Amino acid sequence: MYVAWRDLRFARGRFALIGAVVALITLLVGFLSGLTAGLAAQNVSAVLALPADRLVLHPVGGAAATFADSAIDETTVDAWRAAPGVDRVAPVGITQTRAAGPGASTAVALFGLDAGTSFPGPRRDDEIALSEGAAKNLGAVVGDDVTIAGSSYRVSAIGGDHWYSHTPVATLTASAWAALDRSLGGSGQPTVLAVSGDPAWDAVAADTGTTASPPLASLTALSTFRSEIGSLALMIAMLFGVSALVVGAFFTVWTMQRSADIAVLKALGASSGAVVRDALGQALVVLVAGVGVGIALTAVLGALAGGELPFVLSPLTTLAPAMVMIVLGLLGAAVSLRIVTSSDPLSALGSTR
């Protein structure tokens, strides 16, 4: 690193420029990651909070199982309850509608499940539990009345930051939800079974014509989640690719410019390992500095935007992309190592023929 540090000092303008580019790309990746995590949370946090080892969906008409189309009849519920190894089956109804509160009306995702699980829910059919987002949008507090499709419910609890398809969650009892769903034109059948235990999942699913997936894997059955996260993940992946390309191109040009110096060092006795370590160390310094600045900016901007945007600031949205950026940047820089290793020390002597 002896020469590398001095190169960094000598050509600080050049390295500051590439560091700034790395920082900007990191900011983009970090911000997109935070936004993706935020959007994902607003899409599926309620599903992930369901008390289950597996979520069971019932495909309708031979189509792939989705939350939008699934409907589970009583026979299927009973079959899962009777399956050996099953500890608990909680039918969960999910529908989206509008609710009117004391302050405003808003779209809500209406979950129906009985109390007694870890998911916050009311105990009586004339009560409703609101997530923090729903309570805020409705302007409701505990004890207020909320009206849905002409039926009035008393707010019994407010808590949890639960969202489903970008709408805040409100929870009724299973029977109240079924009645409301029927009044909205639905079948009143639950959408999904939250199953706990250790049964022969595949066998029971095959027998009942259902699918049983861990909560995380079941998210692919949520079409909005799939398309939204897919698009954002693609953008992040492309930014990772751009960062590797930019860093690789920079260090390739830089290394080409100093190939004569490398030849001299090798002629003087520098080992290839020493020259390679020097080059990679230099790239690592630039990457760590650029990524560090980028992540710091992401943290600051994310904290500022967190109140207005669905933005999650966590190690997963900051440190993880930072590590990927550094690794990909080093891989990009490694492209230039071929110039380093193939540099002929004989060329330092000039023509020898």
**Considering only residues 16, 79, 267, 309, which one is a binding residue for other proteins as defined by CB under 8 A?**
267
Please check whether residue 21 is in contact with residue 249, taking contact to mean a CB–CB distance below 8 angstroms: no
Distance CA 311, CA 303 (A): 8
| DSSP type of residue 83 | S
Q: Is 269 in the site for other proteins (CB under 8 A)?
A: yes
Of 7 and 228, which has the nearer Cβ to other proteins? 7
Question: Which of 349, 344, 348, 333 shows the shortest CA–CA distance to 255?
Answer: 333
The site that binds other proteins (CB under 8 A) totals a number of residues, namely: 29
Decide: is 118 part of the binding site for other proteins (CB under 8 A).
no
As a whole number of angstroms, the distance between CA 189 and CA 112 comes to 10
Choices 62-70, 153-161, 181-189, 271-279; region in contact with other proteins by CB under 8 A:
271-279
Question: DSSP 3-state assignment of 156?
Answer: strand
Q: Using CB under 8 A, which of 235, 264, 305, 339 touches other proteins?
A: 264
Residue span 2-21 as binding mask against other proteins, x where in contact by CB under 8 A, dash where not: xx--xx-xxx----------
For the record, the structure tokens of 114 come out as 């009985």
Output the smallest distance, CB 278 to other proteins, in A.
9
Interface with other proteins includes 271 (CB under 8 A)? yes
Site for other proteins in 201-260 (CB under 8 A): 260
Among 61, 185, 273, 315, contact with other proteins (rule: CB under 8 A):
273
Binding-site member from 66, 68, 261, 284 for other proteins (CB under 8 A): 261
Q: Rule CB under 8 A: choose which of 155, 236, 265, 280 binds other proteins.
A: 265
Q: Quick check: helix, strand or coil at residue 151?
A: strand
Angstrom distance (rounded) from CA 253 to CA 342: 15
Nearer to other proteins (CB atom), residue 111 or residue 251 = 251
Question: 245: closest CA among 34, 33, 21, 36?
Answer: 21
- Between β-strands 54-57 and 192-197, what pairing exists: parallel, antiparallel or unpaired? antiparallel
Interface contacts to other proteins, rule CB under 8 A: 2-3, 6-7, 9-11, 260-261, 264-274, 277, 345-346, 348-353
